[in-house]
Amino acid sequence: MKVLLVVSDTHQHSLQNIGRGVPGLEIKHYIGPDNLTAFLGEHGDEYDAVATTDYPAYNGLLPSLMVHPGPRIILQLSGTESIPEGFRGIYHPITDGLRRLVSESQ
């Protein structure tokens, strides 16, 4: 399963190991939000799912992520944000949630 994880330049390094060690999962980081809608329009079909985090700064990205047919995922790093309609929340432990996601997709 190939997932596009939209992250900020600030959070990229703290999220670089997310999902590591989950068999069948490949995560590509997209440093956004610049041109996210255009990128998904051109390359979205290369990804099985799109994801971002629950950092409040990413709320503006959600309409762009809706372009992808899904699954659309919010990684609940803080656990305090509610999950908007059309998205799936993955809670702590994040790695376990990603494992479930991969097994459900097979």
User: Mind listing the pLDDT tens digit for each residue in 44-100?
Assistant: 999 999 998 877 666 678 888 888 998 999 988 877 668 888 999 998 888 899 999
d(CA 51, CA 27): 9
Domain 2-105 of CATH type 3.40.50.2300: yes
Domains of the chain, by residue range, sit at: 2-105
pTM above 0.75, yes or no: yes
Q: Are residues 85 and 74 in contact, defined by beta-carbon separation less than 8 angstroms?
A: no
Write the burial class of residue 55 (CB in 10 Å: 0-12 exposed, 13-18 middle, 19+ buried): middle
d(CA 104, CA 4): 17
